[in-house]
Structure formats: structure tokens, C-alpha cells
Structure 1
């Protein structure tokens, strides 16, 4: 018992990065995003504004680009307390509570605004329910979210329907939900970590991948991919999560301040993604990429049917969440 208590205290101390001033804390914030991506800008801005809003009582040191490990290692670090907080797809927490992955489910939200509302930790009834389970089972709490834009399919050939990907190796985020979705694309799911993605595409290990336009451009995937299909199959929402002991170790005012900063930045990320879409499409065209839309042959209905059939088969427990989220504003 004493050993467990000592371990917990040491973990919290590491995560906090306690300074000599008793009231000041430093939070270690990890993520896998690279320079230029909306998620990276979000983390940097949030860190700066938390420091300003708390008059330096809470500082946030950001470790981007997988510096503290892969997605799984980051989540484990937050659970243990060696990392204070991080962000990634909601589905990255599915090892703790499987149903949290529903917030990343394809063809779930009506639009970006609804996606942001449905994932608000302060007001979303569905997220509140799931958050209680995350705290109880994993000692992790979702305290914010990031909007990165709709996810699109890129490949080294034009993709217009699931038939075009049949039998081809396609990158899947190493999470069950993504594996299921890629099967729905008609492809063979091949798990690849984001840090290894450009090499996997260049060597032909996989023929394609799916991500928001901002990531496709920031990671220069136009150098190894020829086409983007505007499927908008998923509204890319990332969860910002924190170790529960670290969270409870903050004062109530500090928690309120951090929550407000993260909510403000979530709305900024939404505007940033929406404002940049046309510009990103233009830039990708300039880099030689073909943009496939319904106007030039994209069969969006075929993708919807195939993907939703696969998801409903693999995750029958998602059905009631789909209905509740669909009715949220």
C-alpha cells in the first residue's frame, strides 16, 4: 500500500514538474503532430495563454512530433503520470473505455460546428458520461478538444469509389476504429505510425492514407502522393486529456482557467481549419495533386454505405451513441 502511494506521489511530481515555488506547476504536454499542423499550433498557443492567464503559476512545456513516444506510449505516460497531458484522436483512449472512440466514428457529424459541440467536455451529455468512465477506469480526464478539419483520402492514383482500393494496402491509424473504417474503404488496413508515414508511402508499403488537408500539406505528402479524394469521411476531432491526479492537484481557479483557454482555442482551431481549406486545396493543386470531388467522379454514397456497414458490423455498441450525437446541436 505504501509503495503504491509513494509511486503515485512520485508520478504526480514528475508530471507536474514541481518548481521551488509551492504554488507553481509545470505540465508536460505531449503530442505527435508536426510543425505547421493545426494541432501543433493549438498546443503552442494553449501553453502560452495558460501561462499568461495564470500569471505564470501554471506553465506548460510542449513536446511535439512524438518526442515522448508513440500514441500508445503517450497515453500510457499520461495514465501513469510521467506525462501530465496530451492530445490525440478520441479513439486513442479506447483501450481504457472502448466507446470513447465513437467521437471519431466516420460519417457521424452533420458538420464541423456540431462536432465541436458534441465533444465539449463541459456541456456534452455523451462525453460527460464517457469521461466519468475514463476517470474511474484509467485515471484520465478529457478537458478539451481540437478541430483539425475533415479527413480526406490521398493516394498515388485517383480514388473515386471503394472498388478503386480493393485489395490494396492502405495506411490505418493503429487503432481498431481506423482498421474497421479502412476495411470499409475496400482496402487492406496496414497500421503505420504517423512518424513513419512518409517513408511507408514512398516505399509503397501502403498506396494511400487519410488525414485532414492541413496534415497532408504540412507533412509534404504531395511529394509521395498524386491525388486527394474529398470524402470528408470524418470530422477530425482530437481529445485533449490529462492525468486525473494532476488535474485534481490544481486549484479550482486553475482548472477553470485551463478549461476556458482550451475551449477558446478549440473554436479558434475550427475557424482556422475552415478558413484554410480553399487555400490548402489551391496549394496542393500547385504541388501537382489532383483533387477528386463528386463533380469529377467521386462516389461519396458508395463510401458512406460501405464504411457505415463495416462500422455497424464491427461496433454494434456504437448505435445508440450515433443516434444521440446526431440529435445534438
Structure 2
């Protein structure tokens, strides 16, 4: 009887172990209702339908900030994260090139580039660092919000204490504009703004609204100074251990959920301004030509370091 009991327990553990390991954790840092959160839930549903594997969607930075989630994916603690361009550029610096100032005219232009050769080049570089890019969702064209004023001209930004993501490109842009940029995790931003550490910040309208940052920084200037993607990233060790059919399910889920996310992001870009104005936000248009001129030297600096990717990006957008 003892032998049978031990055998049963051993068999049970052998079965339960792989089954428990089958749960996929999909982590992200966005607030509930944000397009990234909606898409993450859709990803989980699609992946489960395709594979039968349960997905735990861990949102709102419950698995740490973006850098911590990337580290966890590399270590196999989580399997997939819808992450940020800025955080990932700390591991794969080339991905920061998507944020070259005023590179993309609009969101569809950016998506076309990400879904082509440039996206493949960035995935190759990510894999060399232990991460697999499943696809690129959207994180919008970014604008500046300020506590006390609009900033229609580059001179208005001079001296501004501005929060940025942990992204060297964004820091370089605001340094060129004469501001004092400092990186901070997005989850810590509202508290830092309320305490007066920063004069303002920069984000797409959907992030500003879903995180209620517009209630703190009530002056938004539509600078459109850079674009950011949301790379959907898997740990390479987990990815490499999947069979081809499961890999295809992950890629399909990323594409399907990405279409939802991109469309929500585009809709927000087009509709949020009047909604935010009704809630007391003051908007201003930026002098785009003046901003472009003030940040133009950034292209030369990055072209000298990453000539192939900068050339590919410029060719893709017709520069």
C-alpha cells in the first residue's frame, strides 16, 4: 500500500508539475481600460483558444515596472510582456531609434514600418539579448503636458523639469530643447507630479487620460515630438522551448490583439482632445518646424552609431 501511495504521489507530481508550468504570465504596466490592457486580455483569450494553455494577465505593473518585467521574461519568471520602447532600449539600444524626433507623420505610417524589414532587424537584435519580439503594438505619438502653461515653442521648454521614460532618445530630445529631463517609472509618475518634482511630462493622449495625468498637468501642447511602440516580448528561453504550432499561436494572438490595440490607440488620438477639454484641459498646437529644427542634430548623432538602421528607417518613411 505504501509503495502504491508513493507511486501515485510521484505520478501526480510528475503530471501536476508540467501542467502548472503551462500557465503563461502576460505582464504589462498599463492601467485597466488602457488599450494595452484591453489587448493583453484579448491576447490571453486568443492564445488559450489556440493552445488550451491558461494565461494570467498581470496588468498595472503588478509584476514590477517595465525594466523589471523584461528582466523577469529573460529569467523565465514571466513568459510575455507588453512592454515599453524606452525600457527595452536599455537592453536593445537600437529599438530607441523608433523615437527619432518627428520621424513618423502618423500612426499608420509607423505601423507599416514596424511590420516590415525594420521590425525584423529589431527582432534579430533583441534575440541576441535573450528576448523574442512577437510583434509591435502601439504606444502613440507623444505630447508634452505641463502643470502651469503650454509650450508651443522650443524656448518654452527651456529649463523645464520633465519626466521621461528610461529612454536615451527622449532624454536627448529634451536636452536639445534646453529642458532638464529625468527618467522615472511610469507607475511613479502621478505621485512625482503631485509632489512638484516635475513641471510636467510627455506621453500620448491615451496614457495621459487613462492614468488621470490630465487632472494634474492641465496644459497639453500637441508637440508630436516622437513615436513609441509597445514591443510585445517573450523570454527567448521560453520561446525556444515551444513547438512550432504553439509559436504560431503566440504570433497570431499578438497580431490579432495588436490590431485591436492599434485601432483603440488611433481612436483615442482622434477623440480624446474634446473629451479632455470638457474636463478642463487647455490645449495648444506646437510650432512643428521650430521643434524639428531644434532637434535635427540628433539624427546625425545616431546615424554615426547605427548607420544601417537609421538608413533603413529614413528609407522606409521616404526621408
| TM-score band, normalised by shorter chain | 0.7 to 0.9
| Matched residue, 2:295 | 307
Whole-angstrom CA distance in 1 between matches of 2:92 and 2:100: 15
Q: Classify the secondary structure of the residue corresponding to 1:232.
A: coil
C-alpha displacement of 1:246: 0.7
1:99 counterpart = 2:90: no
1:84 counterpart = 2:79: yes
| Matched residue, 2:123 | 131
Contact 1:92–1:101 (CA under 8 A) maintained in structure 2: no
Contact 1:72–1:92 (CA under 8 A) maintained in structure 2: yes
C-alpha displacement of 1:292: 0.7
Whole-angstrom CA distance in 1 between matches of 2:165 and 2:248: 33
1:270 counterpart = 2:262: yes
Whole-angstrom CA distance in 2 between matches of 1:19 and 1:326: 52
C-alpha displacement of 1:23: 11
Deviations 1:8-67 (A, max 9, x none): xxxxxxxxxx9556698211122111112111111111111211222x2x2221111111
1:185 counterpart = 2:173: no
Gaps of 5+ in 2: 1-14
Contact 2:74–2:237 (CA under 8 A) maintained in structure 1: no
Alignment TM-score, normalising by the size of structure 1: 0.84
Q: Which has the larger radius of gyration?
A: 2
Deviations 1:94-121 (A, max 9, x none): 333321221233322233122112222x
Deviations 1:215-260 (A, max 9, x none): 1111111221121111222233110010111112222111112211
Contact 1:145–1:239 (CA under 8 A) maintained in structure 2: yes
| Matched residue, 1:11 | none
1:44 counterpart = 2:44: no
- Pair 215,94 (structure 1): closer, same or farther in 2 beyond 3 Å: closer
Contact 2:25–2:57 (CA under 8 A) maintained in structure 1: yes
C-alpha displacement of 1:126: 2.8
Q: Classify the secondary structure of the residue corresponding to 2:208.
A: helix
- Pair 226,96 (structure 1): closer, same or farther in 2 beyond 3 Å: closer
Deviates most, 160-169 or 314-323: 314-323
| Matched residue, 1:6 | none
Counterparts in 2 of 1:151-190, with a 5 A limit?
Answer: 151-156=142-147, 157-190=149-182
Whole-angstrom CA distance in 1 between matches of 2:298 and 2:185: 23
1:246 counterpart = 2:241: no
2:309 to 303, 313, 321: 321
Whole-angstrom CA distance in 2 between matches of 1:314 and 1:243: 28
Contact 1:312–1:319 (CA under 8 A) maintained in structure 2: no
In angstroms, what is the RMSD of aligned CA positions? 2.2
Aligned length: 302
C-alpha displacement of 1:304: 1.6
Counterparts in 2 of 1:25-44, with a 5 A limit?
Answer: 25-44=22-41
Deviates most, 272-281 or 66-75: 272-281
Deviations 1:73-97 (A, max 9, x none): 1111111111211122234223333
Whole-angstrom CA distance in 1 between matches of 2:56 and 2:124: 27
Whole-angstrom CA distance in 2 between matches of 1:28 and 1:127: 24
Alignment TM-score, normalising by the size of structure 2: 0.87
C-alpha displacement of 1:319: 4.8
Contact 1:198–1:221 (CA under 8 A) maintained in structure 2: yes
Contact 1:152–1:212 (CA under 8 A) maintained in structure 2: yes
1:65 counterpart = 2:63: no
| Matched residue, 1:5 | none
Whole-angstrom CA distance in 2 between matches of 1:231 and 1:50: 37
2:137 to 146, 170, 185: 146
Q: Classify the secondary structure of the residue corresponding to 2:138.
A: strand
